[in-house]
């Protein structure tokens, strides 16, 4: 055995100075007291933690960071962007403007509340910090027009919605944040199911660690992310890690820009660092996928973060995560001067361009009357190729996971397909709470792929002939649509508030009211935007853009 190296220490993720712009939430519940040895201690009351959490969860449901909004605007201004890229970016900016009114959240999936905190050694609380933080989550979700998505497991098979969006994921660390013993710093996130489901872990080996193999690997895996999580994405890739779970957690933090101030080179202290060169190359790789901002183009990703971590010699975990168009996170801090929260953009209208839809997209938009019989609707759709932009007006039936499972049970028992699924297009979605005076709460599409297993059975029984949701689908859906004359239409993932305000005119429950947002609904829509993704001839827009084509490695 060789002699041991001298002791040296560096944190695994050494971050630089905090450049965040903060706003004061309150100075109540915070005090400074004298302690032994002349030390000064910051005392934080539970009410201060609750107030900060409630305010943070409100803000990230309605506001975005200015840098994110500027990236959306840059897509509109980029002459190399596709018309569909620009159309999606404009719709997302309009959505942000509506959500900033504080009534409709930017996305109907208002997410799992995730809170990470670092408490300095001179910060004193009553010790029940996670409970106080959870109370703030409860206050935000029960008082605002947010959706309850958390299911309590009652048995291994039975679940029930908790009715409050609790539990939250709260992780607290004993660590002087930025070297300040009298500070308490936080990262608040709301993570929807769409983007959370696009977190991936791959257990690789040393063989991956060369430029050519790495780029081949990333092209294959990144294409598989698809569009179900509402691009353009903030993409994070972590290579290495002291454990699989640490790699995944680091990817989540990196996707939230929390690790932007990492060093940009490594050292023998084995800390993590960002590889800026590889970030640029991966971003260019995604530009060439053709997937774009959901329906073809360059803007699959806004940006890329690549973090290299130390690893055990026998392991090489690779973690991939995204933050979606609902880029919901904010940092916060409690110091002797008060309770502070990251200042998000409250006037997103300043990022809107002075252009019309016609300026953005000269391609034909096909108007589809959903009041017509289903056979006539399908005959109209059959005239146009995949990627055709549509404007839908008329009735839609809304059904998602649990409703599909219940209808499948009825078919298995020999019952007929419900007439509403034979007569109408089906929209995979689940609304947030409806504000007073509105026809609907935020009501964007859910991930289509979760319903793939039902499509052939439903179409064979005469239902689900036209489906509307977000994201790409499996080959079995394409084959079923070709066999049964069906269509899958892609809706823009992300602009749930705009759809609720501008497109959804009436909402009523058709069946299973006890399921809450998972009930079967009937809605009336007007000029609802969509694209033909899968047609009745066996064409799938995403089939080509998900095939790896890279033949050269990293330069």
245 and 206 housed in the same domain: yes
Tens-place pLDDT, residues 36-77: 888 999 999 999 999 999 999 999 999 999 999 999 999 999
With CA atoms as reference, report the closest residue to 204 among 288, 286, 76, 312.
312
Mean per-residue pLDDT for 406-428?
A: 97
21 and 116 housed in the same domain: yes
Per DSSP, helices labelled H in 288-395 are: 357-360, 374-381
- What is the pLDDT confidence band of residue 554, given thresholds at 50, 70 and 90? very low
412 and 516 housed in the same domain: yes
Report, in this order, helix, strand and coil percent for the chain, each rounded to 5.
Answer: 35, 25, 40
Residue 545 pLDDT > 70 = no
Q: Rounded distance, CA 464 to CA 399, Å?
A: 10
Tens-place pLDDT, residues 104-153: 999 999 999 999 999 999 999 999 999 999 999 999 999 999 999 999 99
Mean per-residue pLDDT for 534-552?
A: 75
Residue 7 pLDDT > 60 = yes
Whether 549 is in a domain gets the answer no
**Residue 362: per-residue pLDDT:** 47
**Residue 295: per-residue pLDDT:** 87
176 and 232 housed in the same domain: no
47 and 175 housed in the same domain: yes
Structural contact between residues 15 and 175, judged by C-beta atoms closer than 8 angstroms: no
Tens-place pLDDT, residues 77-99: 999 999 989 999 999 999 999 99
Say how far residue 427 (Cα) sits from the centre of its chain: 19
Mean per-residue pLDDT for 280-288?
A: 97
- State percent of the chain over pLDDT 90: 88
- Alpha carbons within 13 A on the beta-carbon side of 250: 30
What CATH number is attached to the domain comprising 516? 3.20.130.10
Structural contact between residues 464 and 404, judged by C-beta atoms closer than 8 angstroms: no
* Residues in Cβ contact with 205 at an 8 Å cutoff, skipping those fewer than 6 apart: 316
Mean per-residue pLDDT for 450-456?
A: 96
Tens-place pLDDT, residues 245-267: 999 999 999 999 999 999 999 99
Whether 6 is in a domain gets the answer no
Helix (H) or strand (E) holding 138: helix 129-143
**Residue 493: per-residue pLDDT:** 85
More confident residue, 410 or 495: 410
**Residue 543: per-residue pLDDT:** 81
Residue 279 pLDDT > 60 = yes
Tens-place pLDDT, residues 465-483: 999 999 889 999 999 999 9
171 and 200 housed in the same domain: no
Whether 548 is in a domain gets the answer no
Mean per-residue pLDDT for 292-320?
A: 96
Total number of domains constituting the chain: 3
180 and 46 housed in the same domain: yes
Whether 545 is in a domain gets the answer no
**Residue 495: per-residue pLDDT:** 86
336 and 316 housed in the same domain: no
509 and 382 housed in the same domain: yes
**Residue 360: per-residue pLDDT:** 47
Whether 455 is in a domain gets the answer yes
Residue 464 pLDDT > 90 = yes
Whether 3 is in a domain gets the answer no
Q: Rounded distance, CA 432 to CA 448, Å?
A: 18
- State percent of the chain over pLDDT 70: 96
User: What is the rounded average pLDDT for all residues in the chain?
Assistant: 93
Tens-place pLDDT, residues 342-401: 999 999 999 998 755 554 454 579 999 999 999 999 999 999 999 899 999 999 999 999
366 and 279 housed in the same domain: no
Mean per-residue pLDDT for 316-345?
A: 97
Report the predicted TM-score, pTM, of the whole model to 2 decimal places: 0.88
Per-residue HEC secondary structure of 27-70 comes to: CCCEEEEECHHHCEEEEECHHHHHHHHHHHHHHHHHCECHHHHH
Count CB-CB contacts under 10 A for residue 372: 13
Whether 159 is in a domain gets the answer yes
128 and 73 housed in the same domain: yes
Residue 555 pLDDT > 60 = no
Whether 446 is in a domain gets the answer yes
**Residue 314: per-residue pLDDT:** 96
**Residue 380: per-residue pLDDT:** 97
Give the domain extent around 126. Answer: 12-191+326-352
Q: Rounded distance, CA 30 to CA 44, Å?
A: 5
Per DSSP, helices labelled H in 396-474 are: 401-412, 419-423, 452-460
525 and 432 housed in the same domain: yes
């Amino acid at each position: 055995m060789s002699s041991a190296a001298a002791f040296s220490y560096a944190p695994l993720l050494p971050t630089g100075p905090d450049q965040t712009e903060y706003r004061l939430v309150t100075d109540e519940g915070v005090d400074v007291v004298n302690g032994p040895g002349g030390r000064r201690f910051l005392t934080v009351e539970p009410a201060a933690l609750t107030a900060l959490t409630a305010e943070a969860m409100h803000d990230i449901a309605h506001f975005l960071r200015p840098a994110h909004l500027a990236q959306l605007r840059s897509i509109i201004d980029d002459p190399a962007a596709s018309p569909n890229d620009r159309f999606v970016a404009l719709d997302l900016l309009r959505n942000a403007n509506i959500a900033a009114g504080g009534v409709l959240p930017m996305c109907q999936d208002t997410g799992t509340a995730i809170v990470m905190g670092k408490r300095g050694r001179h910060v004193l609380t009553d010790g029940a910090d996670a409970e106080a933080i959870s109370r703030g989550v409860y206050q935000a979700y029960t008082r605002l027009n947010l959706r309850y998505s958390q299911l309590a497991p009652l048995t291994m098979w039975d679940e029930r919605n908790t009715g409050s969006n609790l539990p939250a994921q709260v992780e607290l660390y004993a660590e002087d944040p930025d070297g300040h013993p009298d500070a308490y710093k936080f990262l608040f996130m709301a993570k929807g199911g769409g983007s959370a489901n696009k977190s991936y872990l791959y257990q690789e080996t040393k063989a991956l660690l060369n430029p050519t193999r790495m780029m081949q690997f990333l092209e294959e895996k990144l294409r598989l992310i698809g569009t179900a999580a509402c691009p353009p994405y903030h993409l994070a890739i972590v290579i290495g890690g002291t454990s699989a779970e640490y790699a995944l957690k680091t990817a989540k933090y990196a996707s939230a820009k929390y690790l932007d101030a990492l060093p940009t080179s490594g050292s023998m202290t084995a800390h993590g660092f960002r590889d800026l060169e590889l970030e640029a190359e991966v971003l260019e790789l995604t530009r060439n996928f053709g997937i774009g901002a959901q329906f073809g183009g360059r803007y699959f990703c806004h940006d890329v973060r690549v973090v290299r971590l130390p690893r055990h010699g026998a392991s090489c975990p690779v973690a991939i995560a995204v933050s979606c168009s609902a880029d919901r996170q904010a940092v916060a801090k409690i110091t002797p001067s008060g309770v502070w929260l990251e200042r998000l953009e409250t006037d997103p209208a300043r990022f809107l361009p002075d252009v019309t839809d016609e300026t953005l997209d000269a391609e034909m938009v096909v108007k589809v009357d959903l009041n017509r019989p289903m056979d006539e609707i399908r005959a109209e759709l059959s005239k146009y190729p995949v990627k055709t932009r549509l404007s839908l007006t008329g009735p839609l039936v809304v059904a998602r996971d649990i409703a599909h499972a219940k209808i499948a049970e009825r078919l298995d028992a020999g019952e007929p397909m419900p007439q509403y699924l034979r007569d109408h297009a089906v929209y995979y979605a689940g609304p947030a709470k409806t504000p007073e005076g509105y026809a609907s709460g935020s009501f964007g599409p859910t991930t289509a792929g979760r319903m793939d297993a039902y499509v052939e059975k439903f179409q064979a029984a005469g239902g689900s002939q036209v489906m509307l949701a977000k994201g790409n689908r499996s080959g079995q859906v394409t084959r079923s649509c070709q066999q049964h004359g069906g269509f899958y239409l892609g809706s823009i993932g992300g602009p749930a508030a705009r759809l609720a305000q501008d497109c959804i005119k009436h909402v009523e429950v058709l069946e299973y009211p006890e399921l809450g947002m998972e009930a079967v609904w009937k809605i009336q829509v007007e000029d609802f935007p969509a694209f033909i993704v899968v047609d009745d001839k066996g064409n799938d827009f995403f089939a080509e853009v998900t095939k790896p084509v890279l033949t050269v490695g990293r330069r």
